[in-house]
Amino acid sequence: MPDAHSRALAALKRRGRLRALEGRAGLDFASNDYLGLAGSTELADAARAALDRGVPVGAGGSRLLRGNHPEHEALEAEAAAHFGSETALYFGGGFQANTAIFSTLPSRGDLIVHDALIHASVHDGVRASKAEHAIAPHNDCQAFDDAIRRWRARGGMGRVWIAVESLYSMDGDRAPLIDIATVAARHDAMLVIDEAHATGVLGDHGRGLAAVLEGCAEVVSLHTCGKALGANGALVLASRTLRDFMVNRCRPFIYATAPSPLMAAMVRESLRLCRDEPGRRTAVLRRVGLFNQRVSSGIGLPVSGSHIVPVIVGGDTRAVALAAAIRSRGFDVRAVRPPTVPEGTARLRITITNNVSENDIEQLAAALGDELGRLAA
């Protein structure tokens, strides 16, 4: 008799939701390596130089034991200066950092209000928090305000924490950050902004969409290092008080082996490239404009205007079939299904990076139009 795990896997397969690991094949329209830094000669040269000067691959322990390395501290100082924050704290990854923020900083008696489409890591952090929480419909500033007012009317006395992404990972649309910041200020709330998919690509010197808000004591931002920066880890930008609190109370920080000092050196180089070589951002944004134009005018699909372009087809099996057809033509495009996205919105998640040429983009747009036509026939 099959056990519960086998039955669950069989059910996923019947619904077209069974996941499996697949290798890389075809042109990259699936990764988050937006600037094309992950395999760049610049980062490879920086890695060799760091190894030559004695930077170790492993940390050997948590930051509070022997794992703290000068490369970690140098990165944090440079990141704080780059993003305009008082301090930074380096984590091993974005998922870890997001769960750390929300499981540590909001206290019992506080309220967390987050966007409905925010990263899964935030949901996990909220579940681990002692604070109450509420969900606001996507990009609905009035809903954030209403949720806070209802909580206060019921007697809520603590601090409010508002959580959004600056650029949403599955839809590629922007948060109305200035309007949300206004709501936060009205309620003396903390605003936590996940810049994962904006870092390196958007904003002055790739500082993200929330750069105009950085440096405010009431703003916490997260910048992942494994997407456009081409490395690994994540940086939490916050006031010194909040950073020190996390160092003392944050279990995902205290009890985790420190990130690789070599990777910290790579992130430092990535930040330098963002600051000193804007041509990479110019190039990817030109490609973004081309693909969005081709998809909008050539195929008639709605577009995000960003480097993340969802092609929503609805059904799970339809999305899987469409992705397979596109991959068979030499383009690495993946299907994303619930629960990662809402029910009935299974999609292709197409990303535009510097790993492809403008001609590649033209060809993908043509192939996408062909296969969508076949799917509808």
Q: Name which CATH class applies to 20-39+278-376.
A: alpha beta
pLDDT at 149: 98
What's the average pLDDT block by block, 10 residues per block, for the chain (377 residues)?
Answer: 84 88 91 97 97 97 96 98 96 96 97 97 95 97 98 96 97 96 97 98 95 88 98 97 97 96 98 96 97 92 94 92 95 94 95 98 95 82
Residues noted as catalytic:
32, 119, 165, 169, 194, 197, 227
CA 333 to chain centroid, in Å, comes to 18
- How far is residue 4 CA from its own chain's centroid? 33
pLDDT at 17: 87
Enter the DSSP assignment of 176.
-
pLDDT given at position 377:
64
Q: Do 143 and 137 form a contact (C-beta atoms < 8 A)?
A: yes
Which DSSP letter does residue 216 get?
-
The CATH number assigned to the domain with range 55-276 reads 3.40.640.10
Distances (CA, A) of 188 to 113, 147, 156, 184, 209: 13, 14, 13, 6, 21
Which backbone phi and psi does 376 adopt, to 5 degrees? -80, -20
Domain chopping of the chain, boundaries: 20-39+278-376, 55-276
Q: What is the pLDDT of residue 296?
A: 92
How confident is the model at residue 374, as a pLDDT?
A: 85
In this prediction, residue 74 carries a pLDDT of 98
Q: What does pTM read for this prediction?
A: 0.94
How many angstroms separate the first and last alpha carbons of the chain?
42
Confidence at residue 61, expressed as pLDDT on a 0 to 100 scale: 97
